[in-house]
Chains A and B, each alone.
Chain A
């Protein structure tokens, strides 16, 4: 390690990280350091704690023991949220009221906007660019609910991109996404990696993302079972790492839009 890179604080440093939910231990004594520019895949069977770990790293799930430092700052004092981009796991980007792709992506810019100020020219340019990176420029004015599941996932990535963060957390971005969209996702992440972003990705199976992964961390029963060079998908499901033959199934896709209040007796999508 050169002297210059030694001075850059590690984006993530978790020591003895423990999480208990409802009195049950979910994560136990996790030590994990992510170095600048690293592309890390968090893998493991369902219920192994990989999503909980990402939620703990973003502060969504408080640690019951251990310390977390982001960019060298202890978590309670951390406020540089503009440096963190988060892509949550969810079936879609839609909500009860129509929202355009542009609007959803522009909310990623809130980390850099002051209260009650209109969008600056730089904000607009960043939103346009983020949409272009995920290849949805021609759909920018369309409603999010009109997009396919894979495209909605790309919208969520663009939203994280819009704030120009250095560190990305992606929770299962490939779950329930068809192969062409997974490829589009891989291209986007490849671009981010080339720009020097640090990426922490939760995945059950990496698929087309495999060439990008530099380091794999496999979780098993709330502990780190493997930490090292990337593994092939079938190796992750080795009995040593968890139950064999667990497959990830995307949850039922909700038709996640207007009908709640919009219109009774309407056929079509269910």
Chain B
């Protein structure tokens, strides 16, 4: 337990907590507008930002924020303007960002390991000043994502409707893009630029296996993101007594494990949902009695799915619809 009394571990835990809350909050809006990979794109662009910081000797965090925000706004503009080939433009940005970053790092005379701290995260080497920056930026992201959720939800749900409702759609879109860029740079020290998108998207994907509303998805994703980032950090810290275990990948794999566990549940829930869809009105023309060997008696606790059908209930039984009729069951 003395692990938690170490200063670097406390800093890491704080950074992980805020990252875990902020990244899925923005991620929910990205997934909602089907831009799940936007975080990845911004992450690649941010590599150039980090390299610029290394080259000029300024703080890589701040140069990354600026370059990532510019990249995010550019992606947003391409999305708004472009129709069919938006994804190609995104791909160009991805690779331009990554290649530019690696090239600039070389020019700065920095080794690849220095860049790797940012590519795959190095939460345990985070400085006290960086922790405060992380906390402040993450807090801003969380406040905006939660506080403006009615507006951001409406814009992401249906842009045209939002415009006719008088919302400044473009301003909100740019806001989400900038928030995404900020949370990418916030999460950069925790999981690294190449894995940042996972922390934004995987908790959302996990949450929506079981949720039916946006609010619960947003809340559950934030909780899951926090559990994954804190849990992954602690796991890797304990495991590192035995082997070299990096926190970033551990966090991402833990989040993915959460999805793998929840996925069958989601499949089951959606299957039940489809079975329970009410049948369309209208009775069959013929009076067909369920096969004479039907000995089972349907009822509220019989275990078969009961589906409303006009004024009665049909029971779904091995691909048949059995409607009670006197002493026997009709095929509906």
User: Which residues of A line the B interface, CB within 8 A?
Assistant: 58-60, 79, 81-82, 84, 86, 88, 90, 93, 95-100, 102-104, 106-108, 110-111, 113, 115-116, 141-143, 146, 156, 159-160, 163, 169, 180, 258, 260-263, 266, 268-269
Residues 196-247 of B at the A interface (beta carbon under 8 Å): 201, 204-205, 208-209, 211-215, 217
Residues of B within 8 A of A104 (CB): 157
Number of interface residues of B (CB under 8 A): 43
Residues of A within 8 A of B166 (CB): 79, 81-82, 111
Contacts across chains A and B counted by CB atoms under 8 Å: 124
Residues of A within 8 A of B204 (CB): 97, 261
**Which single member of A79, A93, A169, A260 contacts B36 (CB below 8 Å)?**
A260
Give the complex CA separation of A107 and B148 in angstroms.
12
Residues of B within 8 A of A106 (CB): 150
Distance between A83 CB and nearest chain B CB, rounded to angstroms: 10
Give the complex CA separation of A86 and B163 in angstroms.
10
Residues of B within 8 A of A95 (CB): 32-34, 156-158
What are 20 A-B contacts defined by CB distance under 8 Å?
Answer: A58-B163, A81-B164, A81-B165, A82-B166, A88-B160, A95-B157, A96-B36, A97-B208, A100-B214, A103-B215, A106-B150, A107-B153, A107-B162, A108-B161, A110-B150, A146-B212, A169-B164, A261-B31, A262-B263, A262-B266
Give the complex CA separation of A115 and B215 in angstroms.
18
Known: A96-B32, A261-B31. A60 touches B214 (CB 8 A): no
Residues 250-301 of B at the A interface (beta carbon under 8 Å): 263, 266-267, 270-271, 273-274, 277, 281
Distance between B23 CB and nearest chain A CB, rounded to angstroms: 15
Give the complex CA separation of A98 and B281 in angstroms.
28
Give the complex CA separation of A262 and B151 in angstroms.
24
CB of B28 within 8 Å of the partner chain: yes
Instruction: Name the residue on B nearest A90 (C-beta).
Output: B158
The answer to whether A103 touches B36 (Cβ under 8 A) is no
Residues of B within 8 A of A90 (CB): 158
The answer to whether A141 touches B153 (Cβ under 8 A) is no
Distance between B171 CB and nearest chain A CB, rounded to angstroms: 12
Known: A107-B153, A107-B154. A60 touches B217 (CB 8 A): no
Distance between A141 CB and nearest chain B CB, rounded to angstroms: 7
